Structure 1
Amino acid sequence: MVKLKHSMCRYHDCAVTDVHTRRKSGKKLINKSAKIHMAIQKPETAGFCEAAAAQVAPTDTPPERIDLEALHRKCIYIIDGRDSDTIPVAEMLAKSGFSNIHTHEPDGEDVDTLLRHLRSSLRGIDLLLLDITHDKHKALSLCDRILNQRWLREIPLIIIAPKGRWQEDSIYSAFRAGATDIVFTPLQRLELVPRVISALLLKQERDLRQHHELELENELAERKVIEARLQYLVSHDELTGLCNRQRLEQALEGAVFQARNKRYASALLYIDLDQFKVINDSEGHVMGDRFLMSIANRLRQSVGSGNLLARISSDEYAVLVEDTKPGEALGLAETLRRTIDEYRFTMANGRTYHIGASIGVALIEPSEEITAAEALARAAQACFEAKTHGRNKVHLFSHDDQESHLIRNAVDWVPRIRKAIREGRLCMHFQPVIDVTDGSVHGYEALLRMRDRNGQLISPAQFIPVAERMGLIRDIDMWVVKHAIEVLRSLPPQHDHLVLNVNLSMYAFQDPALFEVVRDELQASGVAAHRITFEITETAATASYSQTRNMISQLRGLGCRFALDDFGSGFCSFNYIKQFPVDYLKIDGSFIRNLVYDPVDQRLVKSMIEVARTLDKKIVAEYVENEETLDMLRRFGVNLAQGHYIGPPGETMRLENDPQEEEDAASSR
């Protein structure tokens, strides 16, 4: 005999087995059910249903409380074909508290008719009672058909059969056909009710299992959706749905490979939206995102299906065009530029925005081996070149591009500057500034230098522009301030009258932290603030006039002094000079070099001196190269002067009455 496989539910000790496994066995089930029913007490007790339910509860684990009220409300559907002279099944169940009972009398219907009636009558059936005692074959046929109906397959089915007419083979056939249980007549409530409770509990467990299975399926489906979404985002931009930078780089690798092996050219278009920040800052990021999506949609329409369009950063897009010629690539770039230029983005408030695009084009040609990273860098450099020369332009990359040269130069210089700062290889040279009237040393100008790893000096003209462009200038400015104050602190007391002129970048005076650094360093060192003179060019003074003026006012409040450097070389109006809080005007060296021989320079210098006197400011002349120039400046009324004739820049200050200098002078004699 085939071993009975019980259902995995908490009522399996009550011979509640899965319908699908009962077709393989039946005798053990009958024997176990008989043992349970023999143990049921008489129905006359007050707790008849409770006792019956207790008999079907597991005995090897602490019993859970069965909700009888919920069981009484379960839907029981009876197909009743019994003779009318016996007590109806529905009446027995009603007396035991079951309230949701429905009965159908087949009245000679065939199986198909019964199934159609069953399907159209009710949904949500919890138990079927098949009471067709006079027709065994119809009962078995109905069981088998029910098993093949998906919507009925999980509903327990109890057959009510006449004891004398059913043999052992009929019982096995009933279980094979899908019956959950068989109750023999004559019926007794004591026997029927426990069977009904067992079947309802089985249905409850099946429903719970289905619910868990559905939850698991939903969870798995959601997980697959999430996994698919994540897989999609690996190569696509979440906002626009375009390919992302990673996908572009993969495609670039393919284009480079094709150029090397199949000998055809490709082109990369690098698109940067001009002034997108205005929209983002004015209207907010939500509107900014909407604008980016609308631009992406317009680019999709113009790029064509054969080319790859990607969003590679906030407001930057790229197009990879394979198997193309330079003229075709430039033509497409111009088309895209016009597409963006003609677009008008209208906000909900009626405000309309119009921006352009700078587009850089880099070719990937068989004649030149480059990597995907180099192609992307070239396209970005060409785009930067287009922005530098007026924006809203298309530019084809060339090795002769000035901006490209600056970028390549910066790539070389940045690590060198960082390492020099880190290793303490910045230094100062000092050029004396004298009082023209008596020739005494008024102070020194601190000139920044950098030493390479071999100790050779590097001019600031080589590394300062790179530092300003690449964001390294702040560290240099702060080093200059701290080192200058430390130099003054270290001077002997007899030289505490000396002033040090300090040059900072234009960005330093736009940095709120400068004031705190100067204040804290002066307080910590004890150096008097009037001994520091900051030199600032006309260009720096007017670049961010209000912000720079406020910083100068704060530093002058500490006692620091200011000199307007390169006076006369810029386009600063007299009104700017009048309003600007500086103490010195430093005449640009271009007016001093040929002063002795150029009458025009002489008249201009006289005019500058007159302006300085009118504004109650002292005048400084630089690039004094000979005695004649110094004499003329003295006659014109210049206050201070410096230059190679007076003293070239040196690593140390040449201090008067310096014991070491006197010793050196004596030994030389």
Structure 2
Amino acid sequence: MSMYRQLWLAIALSTLLALAGSLFASIMSSRAYLNEQLKMKNTDNATVLALSLSQKNVDATELELIVASLFDNGHYQSIRITDPKGKLIVERVASTEQSRVPAWFMSLLPIESPPGVAQISNGWMQVGTISIVSQTGNAYQTLWASTREMILALALSGILASYLGSLIIRRLKRPLRDVIEQAKAMVERRFITIEESKVPELKQLSIAMNSTTSLLKAMFAEEAERLEQLRRQANTDTVSGLYNRSNFLAQLQITVEEENAPPGSLILIRLSGLIEANRVIGRIKTDALLRNLGQTLNVFQNELPDGFAARLNGTDFALLSRQTAIDDIAQSLTQQVIQQFADTGAEVQVFIGYGTFEYGISPSILLSQVDAAVASAEASKQSSVFKAAPLNIEHAPKSLEEWSKLIQRAIDQNWVRLDYFPVIDQARQIIHREAALRLMFGGEWFPAGRFLPIAERLGLTSQLDLIAVKLALQEIQSSGNTEQVSVNISSRSINDNDFREQLKIMLNAKPESSRLLWMEIPEVGAFANIDTFRNFHQAIRKCGCKIGLEHFGRHLEQINVMHDLNLDFVKFDVSFIRNVENVPANQEFLRGAAGILHRMNLIVFGEGVSSEEEFNSLSRLNLDGLTGPYIGKIIKA
């Protein structure tokens, strides 16, 4: 039996015993009072009648008339007069009294009517003895009525006491329930704080639990910050604060290979005369100039979608992003960099080249095209910016109107499908399969990276995400609900109320399949609007599917935000995976971050594994599963 029920039972029993005791005492007191009243009445009436008869010299006939009159006008059970020798002179006895009081009540609480006895005298001589016994019917009626009234009053008191007891239990139950939920959340590695109770003892308990929660959150935050510093040291340039060359090349390859991502742009910056400036103004001032340049590029990096700024070597810098309209950005960046070096008097020239790309271009071709633009700028012998020649990419982007017609027609004609990629555990067993949406244009199946940017501009991402979920549920159902499938959900979709409602309807229609569905939301999108993501998660989590973050790892310092999200899994971004066998710091970062996430009861995956070396290194880092091109090869083999 729960503590609350035991407390409620104790209050109920105490109240019941108190009320029963009060009722018993009241009834017995009333009964005793009525007995005493009857006794006094009998005695007083007998005395008065005897005194009246003593003052008159009445004969037997007149005496009988007086007794008869008194008996008929009063409520007497019997009136009896005897002579001094005990011989009966007059007697009147009432028939059996009729009463509306239940017989069981009279039997349980008998009321006695002791006879009142008085002496009739003539002067100093005793004439006789009178005995009067009153009827008990009115007394029973009075006791029965008062008992019912007392029962009603005590019942109302009991109800009021029960209500007050409920309020007290509820007042105690709420903070205790909060503490229990907080303890359960701690077991699930979610660290939430609760409101302090107004009950002194429970207030101390809630304060202690909140302090424990804050301490654990701080420990996780400190460990996350340490790992974040380790990641920065391994992947950033110490002077400019930008990402280093190896990290940039990995990110560039990921950017152009990610089929679900939109096209983007690359800007290369080359500083000429930096060595001479270092000799003239000194290393300290030169390093300060490079730090200022790094801060400038960081500003652009934060403002551009998926911006990524890096220092490639002593004089070359790069800015990678998902924005294609960068003519004005390149010009603005050029002016700012030129002005920074002009203000110092250092004779440093700035040459900038830029170009755009889309899914399918080779990283080496992209770099050579943009580097050619930088070379053209250098050929001008003065600080300038040049745009790279159009890249020769097969299936070049069509006009917005044409793309719109193609996408809408593919949706209307149901020219849609999912391609699947395995996610395996350490034993090389498939955990689930990642689903990638494909649309057919002109008889050819196109990857998501080719049409998603246009679909996003047309506001069709929510519709495409619903199609992907529908196809995934059908695939799970067709497998007999034995396979698990993961789908990608865009950040824009989770902000759409209509999308959330339609998704709930779709999932609730197939509850068995929904429990085998995984949903991945990009980390940057989730953290950009954490409240919206939390609302989406709470709405969809009840349907039974698993929800996690993909491209994870760049916001590990915000791990405190994740404690109350109750996520199921995360997938580390491929930038931490690429060439991990050659970067010990990234190995340490992944191992440490996986340890933190495991303590939060999260499943941890690595994405984008492309080689056997990466696979072998990651297998030693305590990750729960891996996915990527190499995983597909070994599963097929």
Q: Which structure is higher in RCO with an 8 Å CA cutoff and minimum separation 6?
A: 2
TM-score scaled by structure 1? 0.35
Structure with higher helix content: 2
